[in-house]
Amino acid sequence: MRSEMQQILSTCELFPLEVVLTRLLPKLGFHEVNVMGRRSEGQRSTEGGFEIEALLYRENQPIRTIVKIVRDDVRIRNVDEVVGAMTRVDAPFAIIFGTGKLCRNVEHLSRTKVGRKLTILSGDDFARLLIEHEIGTMGRLIAKGVDRKYFEFLHKECNAVVQFMKRRNRRLRKS
């Protein structure tokens, strides 16, 4: 079931992945989960992902954490983007969720000093967490399979939102 979930994740667009991740993070103990905005229109990406800012409480102290989703293998460029976001908002920790594999240099980096502040998860890890927390699965208590209809619904609804935003932006530019 994990390989089926990973395959679905690797074909998902970013918007549905954002929805799935914002459902997963609270189950992992994060609070105040918010998608970070881009500083400029030129920073939009369809593969490189987006960042989410979330709080994780340790000993009643909020720890600001940057979470990034990458719709591909995780590369050094993605790590650099996260480190930049960490610096921008003064976040001491970050997590990268990839839908593919970790490139060799990224695997090494995740085991170094930077790795203490940065957790990097492959598509297999992402799929395992979704199954463990029953997101996108059928059945209760024991996941019986990947719920493809859930992902199809997410894709359809997210596409409708994207189309609405495009029409709205076109109208705004005309006026």
State the pLDDT confidence band at 94, using cuts at 50, 70 and 90. very high
Global pTM reads: 0.82
Per residue in 43-81, pLDDT (tens digit) is 444 445 678 899 999 899 999 999 999 999 999 888 888
State the pLDDT confidence band at 10, using cuts at 50, 70 and 90. very high
Mean pLDDT value across residues 12-24: 90
Q: Report, in this order, helix, strand and coil percent for the chain, each rounded to 5.
A: 50, 25, 25
Residue 139 has pLDDT above 80, yes or no: no
Domains identified in the chain and CATH numbers: 2-174 (3.40.1350)
Q: How far apart are CA 155 and CA 43, in angstroms?
A: 23
| pLDDT computed for residue 21 by the predictor | 93
| pLDDT computed for residue 129 by the predictor | 95
